[in-house]
Amino acid sequence: MNKIICLIILLFFSQQVTSGELVRGATIIEIASSSSNQDVFYLSLSGGTGPCAGKSILFPASKSQSKESYNQAFSIALAAAASGKKIRAHNYEDDSCREANFIGMLTQ
């Protein structure tokens, strides 16, 4: 019985740690300030690893912590696209490529 409980706890915590990272090491090949007339910005990606590698990611304004955070994410995406740096993107709720709310630019 203790083994089953330990296994359930282990599975729960491993899911919490790994879920949400949409892509790592991707290059932005297109960026747009909207998609389908929605309040989002859109990234088309090349390469990377993760469930959204080589796909498109949407960053809805409604999923950001604040308007400032949303603007910062768009600025980071623009900087990464202009410089050719790779990015990582995250969704704090699940692995949906349509509801990202974090982007980081990799410098190495």
Residue 69 falls inside a structural domain: yes
> For the chain, what is the domain count?
1
pLDDT attached to residue 3:
60
Residue 45 falls inside a structural domain: yes
Residue 4 falls inside a structural domain: no
Residue 10 falls inside a structural domain: no
CATH number at residue 90: 2.40.50
What is the DSSP annotation of 17-63?
Answer: HHTTEEEEEEEEEEEES-BTTBSEEEEEEES-BSTTTTSEEEEEGGG
pTM: 0.79
Residue 6 falls inside a structural domain: no
Residue 100 token pair: 């990202």
pLDDT attached to residue 15:
45
User: Which tens digits make up the pLDDT trace of 3-32?
Assistant: 665 555 555 554 444 568 999 999 999 999
Higher pLDDT among residues 71 and 9, named by residue: 71
Q: Which residue segment(s) compose the domain that 71 sits in?
A: 20-105
pLDDT attached to residue 26:
98
Residue 9 falls inside a structural domain: no
Amino acid at position 26, single letter: A
